[in-house]
Amino acid sequence: MNALYTSTDHFVLIPAIMLALFGCAVLLFDFLVFPEPRQRKYLILFVALGEAFCGYGLWRQQSFLASQGVAEITAFNGSVTIDGFAIFFNWIFLVTAMIVSLISYRYLEIEGEHHGEYYGLIMLAQCGMFFLASGTDLITLFIGLELMALCFYVMVGFLRGEKQSNEAAMKYLLLGAFSSGFLVYGFSVLYGIAGSTKLRDVAAAVALREPSDPMVLLALATAAVGLLFKVSAVPFHMWAPDAYEGAPTTVTAFLAVGSKAASFAFLVRIFVGPFAAARELWMPLLTVVAVLSMTVGNLAAITQTNVKRLLAYSSISHAGYILLGLVAGNSTGMEGVAVYLLVYTFMNLGAFLVVVALRRKDLVGDNVDDFAGLMHRSPGYALLMLVFLLSLAGIPPTAGFIGKYFIFLSLIQTGHYVLAVIAVLYVAVAIYYYFRIVRCMFTEKEASIEAPASSFGVRVALALTGLATLVIGIYPEPFVRLAQTSVLR
Amino acid sequence: MNEHLLSIVLFTPLAGFAVLMFLPGAKKNLIRIWANIAGLAGFAVSLLLLARFDKNAAGFQMVEKVDWIPSLGVKYFLGIDGISLLLVMLTTLVGYLAILASWSSIQERVKEYYAMFLLQQVGMIGVFLSLDFFLFYVFWEVVLVPMYFIIGVWGGPRKLYAAIKFFLYTLAGSVLMLLGILTLYFQHFKQFGFYTFDISALMQLDMPLHLEQWVFWAFFLGFAIKVPMFPFHTWLPDAHVEAPTAGSVVLASVLLKMGTYGFIRFSLPLLPKAAIDPWIVQTLAALSIVGILYGALVSLMQQDWKKLVAYSSVSHLGFCTLGIFAMNPNGIAGSVIQQINHGISTGMLFLIVGIVYERRHTREIKEYGGLAHVMPMYSVVFAIAMLSSAGLPLLNGFVGEFTILQGAFEANRAWAACAVLGVIFGAAYLFWLYQRTMLGEVTNPKNLKLPDLNLREWAVFLPLIIWAFWIGVYPKPYFEILEKPVTQIVERVRPGYFAGQAAHNVAEVSVR
């Protein structure tokens, strides 16, 4: 029991170890094996290998849980826990990281910034995400968060020659550091309350106090600032549009999907863990934040002319919807959070993928006008983009509807009728700005005759995300079941 | 094959769509031929429904029920009764005629155009066949996207505005309807302990009146915007005027019926207490009557031929909703028949506008005059369509309007009195339109050389004309088909209605 590193610890940690190992290996291989810049795309094979090992570890853990009939495996004296929740989110991270690696090589070559460390950063960020989803200790979680965030600060500024990218990275770094400060302050207060950093002990200690206890309130308020910043909820969303626009599009996709899913996993761990007893305290808070996020996100998106900014605002509104699942707080709501993040992964990645695919030497492809006449140039991309946008808006039979379905149902079940009405009406607002892109693609004259010449990786990734968006929409059964196993109890 | 007839009817257009996607876009005629084959096949298989439909059987027929998403209690559940049978037949016929009518008017992006029509066909048929609320909602939303493109890509000058307006209006209504559906779904879980969207199971619900009322209004917004009832009609004239001819035809003939169908299929049987709540009934009847009169008056002063027909739809659909909320057999049966009639006659009117528009590229009424001299056949067809729309006896419109008025009279004499005014105004704007465009001397030299109907155009009109006369002269089979389902709905909403009626008759006889 007192051994420093038991076999259980090893079993639990295997996916993270693989990610860290291969992440570092990529850095080494970059200059040892592939000194030629043109060969760097083969680094993806290493990424794939690392992800395969990571996935194997996850699969072993998953089958262990299923065969033993236990809910969780804990390691390191309860600092890291593998449960359905952690496994579910880790699969999302794995898919995201793999797709982002696949689409990156051509894009970065065009940008002239194709370096091996990019793939290393992706895997290390994913390693941080692993701890965000499976950490059950304040310190572990915080380190996971910082590991992820530091990788992202670098990746957002990856286009060293571009002002915008640098500015975005700086902004993201400063605000991110600031919010981390808040978060860690909240954690220190929690430690003061409980005398322990284990989420379970903290939860027990918080439950002993009155909900109106000022210490709990302080811890909640400060921790919430940090957490809501990470999921880019209003009023802590200001960084998102700039960071999304400035970052290389592939990184934007990773940021919008991977970082958001990981931050939500973190947020759920904290709110359903230590703050579970203070529910009546944070529920009104999250309600206000969710409504504000949907309002600001949807209304600000209407006027955007840059697709990446538009998707940034739309992702703010999606954060609002996901928070509503937490506000409802019943099992449907928690399933909703999981299902929503799952479908969000595919549809949002898909939308960014199309933007990536449009990138050519002379065309950035991130303005709404760059989509003009896409239907004539390359109908495949236009139709896929249509599917992704419909799904983002939540129109059946696409995956996005299933995500929204759970959120709406959970609101109805818990009697939040007004919230439900607000949430559904913003669907109609959302369709307006998503269809500005659709209108451009289908009804306007071509912006250029040249069809986008995408890489093999982009085509594979597009096929995958498009298929997933449709399949989850038409036959959601297995995915719903998967999400049901992930509910934290 | 026999057990899956409904699925075959539903997915025939989808199969046509799938094949169409693989045809080369440059071969326009090949695409046109294939789209026509697919449309005709869709109509042909739906004829089998007629053969197999048993009008004496109560309840739903040819039912198909398979688990779709078991963990949510969602089923792939199709079934048909007299009401949906008629609407499906209307959909498959008008859907095909719309495809046929587009042969020469659409020259750009032909492949996408027909793809949208076939896809939309699947959605519309699905709406009329679904007996699972989730499935229904999916089809309901599926219809929106193709129509957005039909208006937005192939429409007139203000097509983009009209298309997005159509989309946003109907979407806003339908997402609120979704909340109503989810409320029923959850209430069913609370009362019976399991989740289902099956509407026959949801009918077992016993909810407090106030909850039923809330759900009713949620449904109302979804359906009323679709119908469209006054004051939610403002998207309709824009959408109709900008849509290409075939788009207008399908929009008017079938899409609007999804709303009225929703009232009959869902609002009344699922929420019987709210549906006879006097306040709700009176509000809806009042809105219907305002719609009838307002639509007719606005039609009277239109300069644009197509806009006139569009507003006449508002008026005619007012009759349909009035019939529904008269809440007696005559009203509801009349309403369904009038929905079919409106599909036939307004479909024809839109086609008629489309034909001159294709030849002259204007819809200003004052650009025309005396066309009867130039296009005699055309003017005869127009006369039939106009008379059928105006409700002349021996044509279909009369049967529907008369039955609805009978129902309305039974429910409330004042309603009938107001609605009759609508019939008069209706005759006024239609006859006046006919007079201004068809009769007199040819005033505009540009009209002197207009060609009359060609063979294909005749082929489009002929089935509709035959159907119009059939309903007008011998409506008995229609009433027979509708008798069972309408009786069921009335019995459900007003239990004891028929017993009371019988007692009333006996009393009358004994007094004599």
Give residues with Cβ within 8 angstroms of B242, minimum separation 6.
B151, B155, B156, B157, B158, B159, B161, B162, B163
Percentage of chain A exceeding pLDDT 70: 98
Helix, strand, coil percentages in chain B from 3-state DSSP, rounded to 5: 80, 5, 20
Q: What's the average model confidence in pLDDT over A302-312? A: 92
Q: What's the average model confidence in pLDDT over A195-209? A: 91
CA distances from A478 to A405, A461, B302, B366 (A): 16, 21, 55, 62
By the CB < 8 Å criterion, does B201 face chain A? no
**Taking a C-beta distance cutoff of 8 angstroms, is the pair B39, B31 a contact?**
no
Q: What's the average model confidence in pLDDT over A426-431? A: 92
Which of A375, A412, A435 lies at the smallest CB-CB distance from B179? A412
**Cα–Cα distance measured from residue A327 to residue A422, given in angstroms and rounded to the nearest whole number:** 14
Which residue of chain A comes nearest to B165, CA vs CA? A432
C-beta atoms of A397 and B168 within 8 A: no
Which of A409, A432, A442 lies at the smallest CB-CB distance from B164? A432
Residue B509 has pLDDT above 80, yes or no: no
Q: Which residue has the higher pLDDT, A230 or B2?
A: A230
By the CB < 8 Å criterion, does B160 face chain A? yes
Instruction: Supply the pLDDT for residue A261.
Output: 95
A443 interaction partners in chain B (CB closer than 8 Å) = 152-153, 159-160
**Taking a C-beta distance cutoff of 8 angstroms, is the pair A393, A427 a contact?**
yes
Torsion of CA A166, A170, A173, A179, to 10 degrees: -140
**Distance, in angstroms, between A297 CA and closest chain B CA?**
18
C-beta atoms of B145 and A395 within 8 A: yes
Residue B52 has pLDDT above 50, yes or no: yes
Cis, peptide link before residue A452, omega less than 30° from 0: no
Residue B8 has pLDDT above 50, yes or no: yes
The mean pLDDT value of chain B amounts to 89
Which residue of chain B comes nearest to A380, CA vs CA? B21
DSSP bridge partners of B130? B78
**Cα–Cα distance measured from residue A12 to residue A78, given in angstroms and rounded to the nearest whole number:** 11
Instruction: pLDDT band for A451, please (50, 70, 90 cuts).
Output: low
**Cα–Cα distance measured from residue B229 to residue B288, given in angstroms and rounded to the nearest whole number:** 7
**Cα–Cα distance measured from residue A134 to residue B489, given in angstroms and rounded to the nearest whole number:** 55
Length of chain B, in residues: 512
The answer to which of A23-32, B133-142, B185-194 has the lowest mean pLDDT is: A23-32
By the CB < 8 Å criterion, does B48 face chain A? no
A412 interaction partners in chain B (CB closer than 8 Å) = 179, 182-183, 186
User: End-to-end distance of chain A based on CA atoms, in angstroms?
Assistant: 26
By the CB < 8 Å criterion, does A396 face chain B? yes
CA distances from A116 to A123, A156, A343, B86, B494 (A): 12, 15, 30, 65, 75
Query: Taking a contact as any Cβ pair under 8 Å apart, which residues of chain B between 132 and 151 contact chain A?
Result: 137-138, 141-142, 144-145, 148-149
**Cα–Cα distance measured from residue A13 to residue A7, given in angstroms and rounded to the nearest whole number:** 10
User: End-to-end distance of chain B based on CA atoms, in angstroms?
Assistant: 56
C-beta atoms of A396 and B186 within 8 A: no
* Domain count for chain A: 1
Instruction: pLDDT band for B311, please (50, 70, 90 cuts).
Output: very high
Q: What's the average model confidence in pLDDT over B13-21? A: 92
B144 interaction partners in chain A (CB closer than 8 Å) = 395
Q: Quick one: how many helices (H) and strands (E) in chain A?
A: 20, 2
* Single-letter amino acid, residue B381: V
C-beta atoms of A432 and B168 within 8 A: yes
pTM score above 0.90: yes
Q: What's the average model confidence in pLDDT over B168-188? A: 93
Nearest alpha carbon to residue A113 among A63, A168, A56, A155: A155
Instruction: Supply the pLDDT for residue A444.
Output: 77
The mean pLDDT value of chain A amounts to 90
Within 10 angstroms of residue B2's Cβ, the number of other Cβ atoms is 8
**Taking a C-beta distance cutoff of 8 angstroms, is the pair A307, A223 a contact?**
no
C-beta atoms of B164 and A439 within 8 A: yes
Which of B70, B153, B179 lies at the smallest CB-CB distance from A424? B179
Q: Which residue bears the tokens 């899409």? A: B255
**Among the residues of A135-162, which ranges form H helices?**
138-156
A481 interaction partners in chain B (CB closer than 8 Å) = 71
**Taking a C-beta distance cutoff of 8 angstroms, is the pair B330, B487 a contact?**
no
**Distance, in angstroms, between B189 CA and closest chain A CA?**
10
C-beta atoms of A412 and B186 within 8 A: yes
Residue A164 inside a domain? The answer is no
C-beta atoms of B179 and A484 within 8 A: no
Supply A259's token pair. 């970082």
Domain with A433 in it: 278-489
Supply B239's token pair. 């959408």
C-beta atoms of B168 and A396 within 8 A: no
DSSP bridge partners of A80? A75, A135
A408 interaction partners in chain B (CB closer than 8 Å) = 178-179, 182
By the CB < 8 Å criterion, does B474 face chain A? no
Residue B88 has pLDDT above 90, yes or no: yes
Supply A137's token pair. 């200790």
φ, ψ at A445 (rounded to 5°): -70, 150
CA distances from A451 to A242, A355, A448, B255 (A): 29, 13, 8, 37
Q: What's the average model confidence in pLDDT over B420-445? A: 88
Instruction: pLDDT band for A456, please (50, 70, 90 cuts).
Output: confident
Which residue of chain B comes nearest to A425, CA vs CA? B172
**Distance, in angstroms, between B511 CA and closest chain A CA?**
55
Where along chain B do its domains lie? 278-512
Residue A18 inside a domain? The answer is no
**Cα–Cα distance measured from residue A426 to residue A294, given in angstroms and rounded to the nearest whole number:** 7
Residue A112 has pLDDT above 90, yes or no: no
* Angle at CA of residue A269, ends A265 and A270, nearest 5°: 120
Best mutation target, A389, A413, A426, to test chain B (most B CBs within 10 A): A413
Instruction: Supply the pLDDT for residue A445.
Output: 75
**A79 exposed, middle or buried (CB, 10 Å; 0-12, 13-18, 19+)?**
buried
Within 10 angstroms of residue B107's Cβ, the number of other Cβ atoms is 9
Instruction: Supply the pLDDT for residue B157.
Output: 85
B172 interaction partners in chain A (CB closer than 8 Å) = 425, 428
Q: What's the average model confidence in pLDDT over B340-362? A: 90
CA distances from B131 to B63, B134, B196, B198, B263 (A): 9, 9, 11, 6, 14
Residue B89 has pLDDT above 70, yes or no: yes
Within 10 angstroms of residue B149's Cβ, the number of other Cβ atoms is 26
Which residue of chain A comes nearest to B172, CA vs CA? A428
C-beta atoms of B183 and A413 within 8 A: no
Q: What pLDDT digit, counting tens, does each position of A330-353 carry? A: 888 999 999 999 999 999 999 999
* Angle at CA of residue A244, ends A289 and A436, nearest 5°: 85
**Cα–Cα distance measured from residue B194 to residue B189, given in angstroms and rounded to the nearest whole number:** 5
Instruction: pLDDT band for B503, please (50, 70, 90 cuts).
Output: low
C-beta atoms of B159 and A439 within 8 A: no
Instruction: Supply the pLDDT for residue B511.
Output: 46
Instruction: Supply the pLDDT for residue B512.
Output: 43
**Cα–Cα distance measured from residue B481 to residue B130, given in angstroms and rounded to the nearest whole number:** 19
